Structure 1
């Protein structure tokens, strides 16, 4: 792929920042709703909070995470950043991949499960150990995600750790 022009890079960076901001803001909102969820005193409110958490996840977090990964990939491919030239880029990839995996296989199912239990049991869900586990998972999981996303933002701005040392030339083996 040819390198991006300065204008193309600027647009792509802008899109990347917008997706990251949406992702971070939605996760922070999910955390606050989860925190409020712990003090619900009405069944309808409990269900509404769980439903709102899932709406944020389905319609903002997931598309924003996908957009963030796609724009990051295009930036790495179309600029001098590359995928492995800088420690800060590698670190962002590792953290982002971890967030996507955690969100997909744990946080998303916990949120859906909590909503389903609250829709059936109402306020009685607060005494259900399965609901308590899933709701606590969403609360702690969104807090961890928010902290990681803020760390990623900090890494993006500060670009610590610099460039990786160029690789050593390939060694010839005894046969050749």
Structure 2
């Protein structure tokens, strides 16, 4: 390993401090989510569960998800620019396997479960089918939070005690090779994330015009909105200058689209197209608002 590329002691201390803060954020966030979910299981939060679900979503997004991604970056820096490496010691290999397991669980199960809970509770739990799905998401989130908390506890234990001694593993990865492989992947990932975020923010900040319902006659009006690569269609029924029903028409099949349809009840309740989007399905909710606006402006 090229010693000229290693971080000096002061930089390593700063990196370690940042790493420990991120570990505390992820582990603390998981414990907080787990505690709230266990309290919900006892039935103490009855009625409107949305404030609790929104809190869980915020903790997951900022305290767990984003902190975990930055934590992975600091771990990569540790592997590249310090003496520890990636496969030099067996306990480090195990830590990377645990990190990979957490990454898969977070993106394939934990994240969708937390987001699904917030979306359904924001839209309302009146529909018995959605309530059943909500409880399924809640149970999944509880299991995933427990698993990830255990994984984090094991990782912390490994980092402190460094089991199996410091026996080296045969075959080392060259530092420059790692940089040449990892750095382009990080740049591509960051670029894709930034581009996607800008695109989504344009949709989420899309203006929704006001409609004067007193000038709209009774009838069923159809509207659509092209957002991104999809066209969203709705039918809006008006009676006595009030919106009484909204339905999606021939739209793509998506779980987030189903959640976003909860915005229809918000529009009917507030009698305007520009309402708060459904949490966890903000982009699709905004598309439906624009489609309703289109229908009413015909």
Q: TM-score range by the shorter chain?
A: 0.7 to 0.9
Question: Cα distance, 1:121 vs. partner?
Answer: 2.8
Question: Cα distance, 1:58 vs. partner?
Answer: 1.1
Structure 2 distance, partners of 1:3, 1:41, is 52
Greater strand proportion: 2
Question: Cα distance, 1:166 vs. partner?
Answer: 2.9
Q: Alpha carbon RMSD of aligned pairs, Å? A: 1.9
Residues 41 and 4 of structure 1, relative CA distance in 2, 3 Å threshold: closer
Structure with larger RCO (C-alpha < 8 A, sep 6+): 1
Structure ID, larger Rg:
2
Task: Name the structure 1 match of 2:86.
Answer: 83
Question: Cα distance, 1:9 vs. partner?
Answer: 0.9
Task: Name the structure 2 match of 1:133.
Answer: 136
Q: Which runs of 5+ in 1 are unaligned?
A: 168-176
Contact 2:90 2:169 in 1 (8 A): no
Deviations 1:116-151 (A, max 9, x none): 112223477798321111100011110111111011
Structure 2 distance, partners of 1:108, 1:160, is 31
Task: Name the structure 1 match of 2:168.
Answer: 164
Contact 2:15 2:74 in 1 (8 A): yes
Question: Which of the numbers 57, 82, 89 marks the counterpart of 1:54?
Answer: 57
1:150 aligns with 2:153: yes
Residues 67 and 125 of structure 1, relative CA distance in 2, 3 Å threshold: farther
Task: Name the structure 2 match of 1:104.
Answer: 107
Structure 1 distance, partners of 2:95, 2:135, is 32
SS in 1 for 2:124: helix
Name the count of aligned residue pairs: 166
TM-score (norm 2): 0.53
Question: Cα distance, 1:75 vs. partner?
Answer: 0.7
TM-score (norm 1): 0.87
Contact 2:120 2:130 in 1 (8 A): no
Deviations 1:25-73 (A, max 9, x none): 00110101111122145322x1111111101011221121012111111
Task: Name the structure 2 match of 1:22.
Answer: 25
Contact 2:57 2:114 in 1 (8 A): yes
Residues 101 and 43 of structure 1, relative CA distance in 2, 3 Å threshold: same
Question: Which of the numbers 63, 66, 78 marks the counterpart of 1:63?
Answer: 66
Task: Name the structure 1 match of 2:47.
Answer: 43
1:7 aligns with 2:41: no
SS in 1 for 2:6: coil
